[in-house]
Structure 1
Amino acid sequence: MNSRRIMAAFPSAADEQVTLANWRQHPYNEWAFRNVRELLPTANIARAPTPAPLSFAPRYLDDVSFADPRGETVGVGQALRASHTDGIVVSHRGQVAFEWYAHGMAPDTPHLIFSVSKSVAGTLGGILADHGKLDPDAPVTRYIPEMEGSVYGGSCTVRHLLDMSVGIRFDEDYMARDGDIMNYRRSTGWEPPDPAIPPSNLRDYLRTLRPNGAPHGETFHYVSTNTDVLGWVYERACGMSYAKILSQYLWQPMGAEHDAYITVDSRGAARVAGGVCATLRDLARFGEMMRNHGISNGRQVVPGWWVDDIRQNGNAEAWSRGDLTKVFPNGNYRNKWYTLDRGETPFAAVGIHGQWIYIDPANETVIARVSSQPLPMDLDLDHMWMRGYRAIAARLAGKA
């Protein structure tokens, strides 16, 4: 299939049409991930009236080299083309040093960021806590009494949601064609309806989830539904929709240049865990704000104590018992952000199919990258790009 033919005719031929049945499959995802609004209902996340300015100091980075999955040396330009990257923005000391787009992407194109959305939600939690709207240590049922009787009832707290330490029975297998992940996707509208299964919606589905017998707080267990519940908590705490909360408390104060948007289900519930679509330049602004201890364009948007909490805390023992040690063997997780190695400074927001915001405070570098990788999780490409991010940051800092 020639990806340039996909959705190029009016109408497109059947095998060139993007649908709910194929939109996350390659090569259809090259078009789909930057045109989500044409496939799913969405809610708008309004930009700032006056965007935070960007300054540019271009650097040549194509020759920065690192090892590819086969152990062979590859340059940045080669790696971008070989890894289905749709775009990348690299900033150093607050200035854009490198910007590159492919597959129809442009500076004003929103792209689906999958679970980078979780880090956005985790950051928003700190803002709401600082405003006195949210108590991270409160039980979930303080905000959503309807969750009593589900895994999110009883002793489950907002902190357990933030740190992915809910003792939940859920198998987040992105390649599965039935079971938990498919039932979840159907409830969000991300899959075609199944005539054999009664229609569902996200919030009703969340109330059906049950415990796995493990105590909350002891094991890192990556389950997207935790973040959707977190977004619902925010809505109850603030009395408005998640999209409006995100715009009012983060997107506008940060100085976003473009509207973002988020997918919603049949009843308007936001896919907080993975449904945000945003431009790369605004993702770079977001990353730069986090590198600068929560300050954007001279304004303290995210409380500094929350950024410190992300970078300094987290439960290393819970991580070591968790399900992502193959990705980050010495990692950590706090407030929906990853520490890549507890002995180093970089931290990151990561989404499936190759979405990243990599922040290296020591080298004053931020890298935002969006992709349409064929596999949801490709550890070879993830590890290649971690080597690449380190190499780029070292070059920009004059260390290589």
Structure 2
Amino acid sequence: MNSRRIMAAFPPAANEQVTLANWRQHPFSEWAFRNVRELLPTANIARAPEPAPLSFAPGYLEDISFANPRGETVSVAEALRTSHTDGIVVSHRGRIVSEWYAHGLTPETPHLIFSVSKSVAGTLGGILADLGKLDPDAPVVSYIPEMEGSVYGGGCTVRHLLDMSVGIRFDEDYMARDGDVMNYRRSTGWEPPDPSVPATNLRDYLKTLRPNGTPHGHTFHYVSTNTDVLGWVYERACGISYAKILSQYLWQPMGAEHDAYIAVDSHGAARVAGGICATLRDLTRFGEMMRNHGVSNGRQVVPNWWIDDIRRNGNAEAWSRGDLTKVFPNGNYRSKWYTIERGETPFAAVGIHGQWIYIDPANEMVIARVSSQPLPLDLDLDHMWLRGYRAIAAGLSGES
């Protein structure tokens, strides 16, 4: 199917209509990931009254080369065209050196960032902790008493949520057509209703989740619901909605130029784990703030100690027992951020279908990239782009 015809007519033909049944499937996703507001209820995340200025120093990066999944040498330009990338911004020493858009995306268009949303939530936790509104070591039930009896009772702490070390019985299989992920998606409104399954909502669904027998803190186990519970903790700690917390404490202080938004369920519960839509330039501002130890436009937005903790800590033993060693064999995870390789400086926020913020402090580089890759997890493409990010960093360092 020609993706340019999808949602192009008014009304669209049946085979060109994006619906809840097909919106995460390629090629419908090319349109859907930049038009989530036309598919799902959302809450606004207000921009800053005065955006942090961007500076530009355009460079030519398209000829930088690296290996594709078949071992062939490809250029940045070829990789962008063949990997379902919707847009990319490369920043070096705080200046945008390259910017590229495709498939209808523009600098002003928010794009769904899936689990990059988790890293936003993890960063927000440091701000709230520094303000004394959040205790990372407190039990979850001290904020949400009604979680007693679920996996999030019985000694589960906010830190376990932050580090994905909850001993939860949950199989995060994005390709499954029934089971945990489908039940979860239905609770958020991301799937069409199933008449044979009782209707529910996100918060009620979270209360049904149970332990797997593993002690909390023992094993890295990637489960999105942990981050939705974390957002609920923030709401109880602050007394306002997650979207307002994010705008008040992070999005506006860092100087976001555009409103972002987040998907919500039928009861207004935010899809904290994967529902944020934001522009690439604001994602670049966010990445630059993290690279600069929490400072954006001269303002300390995120406490320096929280970012140091993200980069230096994390439980390597828990990671080695976990379910993402095939992605980053020698990686780590702390407060919703990935360390790519222990002992090296790059760290990243990563979402399914090819969403990335890659931060390389040693080479003073940030790359924000959004995509509509057909597979939720495509290790060949992810590892190709890791080689690409390193090649771009080497090229920028050589130019300087």
* Matches of 1:53 and 1:304, distance apart in 2: 22
The residue type paired with residue 240 of structure 1 is: I
1:314 Cα deviation after fit = 0.1
Correspondence for 2:357: 357
1:154 Cα deviation after fit = 1.6
Correspondence for 1:312: 312
Correspondence for 1:151: 151
Q: Does 1:98 align with 2:120?
A: no
Correspondence for 2:388: 388
Task: Give the SS at the match of 2:357.
Answer: strand
Q: Does 1:75 align with 2:75?
A: yes
- 5 Å matches for 1:23-172? 23-172=23-172
* Matches of 1:53 and 1:76, distance apart in 2: 27
Q: Does 1:347 align with 2:347?
A: yes
The residue type paired with residue 85 of structure 1 is: T
* Matches of 1:42 and 1:399, distance apart in 2: 43
Q: Percent of aligned positions with the same letter in both sequences?
A: 87
Q: Deviations over 1:202-227 (max 9, x none)?
A: 00000000000000001000000000
* Matches of 1:46 and 1:129, distance apart in 2: 22
The residue type paired with residue 56 of structure 2 is: F
* Matches of 2:73 and 2:370, distance apart in 1: 22
Normalising by the residue count of structure 2, what TM-score does the alignment of the two structures yield? 1.00
The residue type paired with residue 386 of structure 1 is: L
1:343 Cα deviation after fit = 2.1
Correspondence for 1:209: 209
* Matches of 2:347 and 2:262, distance apart in 1: 24
* Matches of 1:260 and 1:20, distance apart in 2: 21
5+ residue gaps, structure 1: none
Q: Does 1:181 align with 2:181?
A: yes
* Matches of 2:35 and 2:397, distance apart in 1: 36
Task: Give the SS at the match of 2:236.
Answer: helix
Correspondence for 2:236: 236
Normalising by the residue count of structure 1, what TM-score does the alignment of the two structures yield? 1.00
5+ residue gaps, structure 2: none
Q: Deviations over 1:66-123 (max 9, x none)?
A: 0000000000000001100000000000000000000000000000000000000000
* Matches of 1:376 and 1:362, distance apart in 2: 30
* Matches of 1:199 and 1:262, distance apart in 2: 22
Which of structure 1's runs of 4+ aligned residues deviate more than 6 A?
none
Task: Give the SS at the match of 1:254.
Answer: coil
The residue type paired with residue 136 of structure 1 is: P
Task: Give the SS at the match of 1:253.
Answer: coil
Root-mean-square deviation over aligned CA pairs: 0.7
* Matches of 1:198 and 1:399, distance apart in 2: 59
1:399 Cα deviation after fit = 7.2
Q: Does 1:198 align with 2:209?
A: no
Correspondence for 1:20: 20
Task: Give the SS at the match of 2:398.
Answer: coil
Task: Give the SS at the match of 2:4.
Answer: helix
* Matches of 2:152 and 2:129, distance apart in 1: 20
